[in-house]
Structure 1
Amino acid sequence: MYPALLWEKLPDNRVRCGTCQWFCRINEGQTGVCRMYRNDAGALFNLNYAKISSLAVDPIEKKPLYHFHPGSKVFSLGSWGCNFHCRGCQNWEIACPEDENGLRYSREILPERAVEMACQSGSAGIAWTYNEPSVWLEYTLETARLAKAQGLYTVYVTNGYASEAQLDAIGPFLDAWRVDVKGFNNQSYRKIGRVQNYEGILRVTERASHKWGMHVEVVTNIMPCINDDDNQLRGIAEWIAGSLSPLTPWHITRFHPRRQMQDYPVTPLETMERALALGVAAGLEFVYLGNVGGNDSGDTVCYNCGQKAVKRSGYSARIMGLVGTHCRFCGTELNFRV
Structure 2
Amino acid sequence: MSKEASLYRIHDNRIECLACARRCKIGENQIGFCGVRSVHNGKLYLDVYGKVAAAHIDPIEKKPLVHFNPGSKVFSFSTFGCNWMCMYCQNYDISQRRKSEGYEISPEEIVEMARGYEADGITYTYNEPAIFAEFAHDTGVIAKKYGLFNTMVSNGYWTDELVEYSKDFLDAITIDFKGNGEEKFMKRYTGASGPEPILNTIKELNKNKIHVEITDLIIPQIGDNLEAAKVLLKKIYDELGPDVPIHFLRFHPDYKLDYIPYTPVETLERHYKLAKDLGFRFAYIGNVPGHPYENTYCPNCGKMVIGRYGFRITEWNLTEDMRCKYCGYKLPIIGKLSKKAFEDRFEPVFI
TM-score bracket for this pair, using the shorter chain length: over 0.9
The amino acid of 1:6's aligned partner reads L
- In 1, Cα distance between equivalents of 2:236 and 2:134: 30
Match of 1:60 in 2: 60
- Aligned residue for 1:75? 75
- Candidates 223, 230, 244, aligned match of 1:227: 223
Whether 1:46 aligns to 2:46 is: yes
How far apart, in 2, do the equivalents of 1:229 and 1:96 lie?
27
Alignment counterpart, residue 247 of structure 1, candidates 243, 246, 249: 243
Query: CA separation in 2, counterparts of 1:227 and 1:234?
Result: 13
Query: TM (normalized to structure 2)?
Result: 0.91
From 136, 149, 154, the counterpart of 1:153: 149
2:8–2:19 Cα contact (<8 Å) kept = yes
* Counterpart contact for 2:20–2:131, Cα < 8 Å: yes
Match of 1:179 among 175, 178, 181: 175
- 1:195 pairs with 192, 196, 209, which one? 192
Correspondences of 1:305-324 after superposition (within 5 Å):
305-318=301-314, 320-323=316-319, 324=321
Give the TM-score of the pair, scaled to structure 1: 0.94
> Residue in 1 aligned with 2:346?
none
Q: Is the 8 A contact 2:17 2:26 kept in 1?
A: yes
SS of residue matched to 2:293: coil
Instruction: Give, in whole Å, the separation in 1 of the partners of 2:317 and 2:12.
Output: 61
Within 2, Cα distance between the matches of 1:58 and 1:118?
11
Deviation of 1:241 after TM superposition, in Å, equals 2.2
The residue identity in structure 2 corresponding to 1:93 is D
Distance 2:226 2:109 in 1: 47
- Tell me how far apart the structure 1 counterparts of residues 217 and 62 of structure 2 sit (CA, whole Å): 15
Deviations 1:286-328 (A, max 9, x none): 1111122342221111010122211111211145222223323
Pairwise CA distance, 1:218 = 0.5
Query: 1:18·1:166 contact (CA, 8 Å) conserved in 2?
Result: yes
Q: CA RMSD in A?
A: 1.4
1: distance between equivalents of 2:323 and 2:170? 23
AA aligned opposite 1:333: K
Task: Tell me the residue number matched to 1:34.
Answer: 34
> Could you tell me how far 1:130 is from its partner in structure 2?
0.6
**Could you tell me whether the CA contact under 8 Å between 1:71 and 1:318 is conserved in 2?**
no
Question: Tell me, which stretches of 5 or more residues in structure 1 are unaligned?
Answer: none
2:199 and 2:236 in contact (8 A); partners too: no
Matched residue type, 2:230 = R
Residue 256 of structure 1 aligns with which residue? 252
Q: Secondary structure at the match of 1:35?
A: coil
8 Å contact from structure 2 (residues 56, 76) kept in 1 = yes
Quote the sequence identity (%).
36
Q: Does 1:93 align with 2:93?
A: yes
1:301 alignment counterpart? 297
Following the alignment from structure 1 to structure 2, what is the Cα–Cα distance between the partners of residues 240 and 195?
19
Are residue 130 (structure 1) and residue 126 (structure 2) matched? yes
- In structure 2, the residue matched to 1:5 is 6
